[in-house]
Amino acid sequence: MNAYVARLRVRMSAHDAHYGGNLVDGARVLALFGDVATELLIAHDGDEGLFVAYDNIEFLAPVYAGDYIEAEGRITRTGNTSRAMTFEARKVIAARYELAPSAADVLSEPIVVVRASGTCVTPKPLQRKQP
Residue type (1 letter), 116: A
Mean pLDDT of 45-71: 96
Mean pLDDT of 2-20: 91
49 C-beta neighbours (distance < 10 Å), count: 22
Is the confidence at residue 3, as pLDDT, over 90? no
pLDDT in tens, 95-116: 998 999 899 999 999 999 999 9
- Alpha carbon of 46 to those of 4, 22, 126, 128: distances in Å? 13, 38, 8, 5
Mean pLDDT of 33-57: 96
Q: Report yes or no on whether pTM surpasses 0.85.
A: yes
Sequence ranges of the domains in the chain? 5-126
Contact 1, 75 (CB under 8 A): yes
Architecture of domain 5-126: Roll (3.10)
Tell me the pLDDT band of 1, cut-offs 50, 70 and 90.
low
pLDDT in tens, 14-40: 999 988 889 999 999 999 999 999 999
Higher pLDDT pick, 129 / 118: 118
CA distance 21 to 40: 34
